[in-house]
Copies of this chain bind each other. A is one copy, B any other.
Amino acid sequence: MPELVAGAREGRPRAVARLISLVEGASPRLREVMAALAPHTGHAYVVGLTGPPGVGKSTSTSALVSAYRRAGKRVGVLAVDPSSPFSGGALLGDRIRMGEHASDPGVHIRSMATRGHLGGLAWAAPQAVRVLDAAGFDVVLVETVGVGQSEVEIAAQADTSVVLLAPGMGDGIQAAKAGILEIGDVFVVNKADRDGADATVRELHHMLGLGEARAPGDWRPSVVKTVAARGDGVDEVVEALEKHRAWMEERGVLAERRARRAAWEIETIAVTALRERIGDIRGDLRLTALAERVTTGATDPYAAADELVRALAR
């Protein structure tokens, strides 16, 4: 295990892949791994990408990877499908499309899906991000497949959240319904060579209230047009991301967001642990011993319950 952690810190692809598999499989050794990785985290810039199917998310992700690589950055990609119980399968197409980066040691691409464990991916994705962070990737792109509640939740845990749309899909309305307008720091209208791109941009400007006055400290979301398949506009997306990052750093917002993300991670893990303990109570042998003490009047049910909860909390 220490070897694996050391390997991952040196950025060795197989060590990184094995550690993410431990996360995905909710391995009991995760605690050990996460404790070893903790001191090396906090350096990666985490970007979430979400949007309705068909907007070209994986093409855009691939184009962003290329742009960051040109700037000399090491890039990790986490493609997350909360709705699929299978890992790899549903996203295999994406991985093949990302093939151009397959032989690049500065890029690590990984698909993740729930394996039915408690808390699901909402819980596992941030841990996989920690692995990539500790492995020294400068940028980690977290791409979610759809726009369901858990996708939005995952995307909202990023330093910067990118919402992708495309013209002529009524996407603005779809996005509003899914609640992704609120989480977007940067909006990308992809396939901007198609009819209706400007209408989509206008719709977005209207829905985001970009024409209105804003409190001085508020971030004004960027809207960028791209044709990701040709690489058009992708440098502008990177520019918008860097602008948002600088804005957050200046105001302490980045630290705030990361603290909020950490709180959310801790909460998710703690709730999962407490739920498991509730399930454990019926089968706990200590319960039988406590029950006997209650029947003899040596203790009362409240004190016994306290004792049981303390015992379960270790």
Contact = CB atoms under 8 A, between A and B. Distances in A.
Interface of A: 30-31, 34-35, 37-42, 126-127, 130, 255, 258-260, 262-263, 265-267, 269-271, 273-275, 277-278, 281-282, 287-288, 290-292, 294-306, 308-310, 312-314
Contact of A274 (B39, B126, B299, B309): B309
Contacts of A40: 297
Contacts of A308: 266, 270
B30 A302 contact: yes
A128 to B, nearest CB: 12
Contact of A35 (B265, B273, B278, B302): B302
A205 B263 CA distance: 61
A299 B34 CA distance: 9
B300 A288 contact: no
Contacts of A39: 297-298
Contacts of A126: 301
Nearest to A127: B301
A43 to B, nearest CB: 9
A110 to B, nearest CB: 19
15 contacts: A31-B302, A31-B303, A35-B302, A42-B295, A126-B301, A259-B292, A262-B304, A266-B287, A266-B305, A266-B308, A267-B281, A267-B282, A271-B281, A273-B306, A306-B314
Nearest to A43: B297
Contacts of A305: 266-267, 269-270, 273
Contacts of A35: 299-300, 302-303
Given A269-B301, A270-B305, A291 B313 contact: no
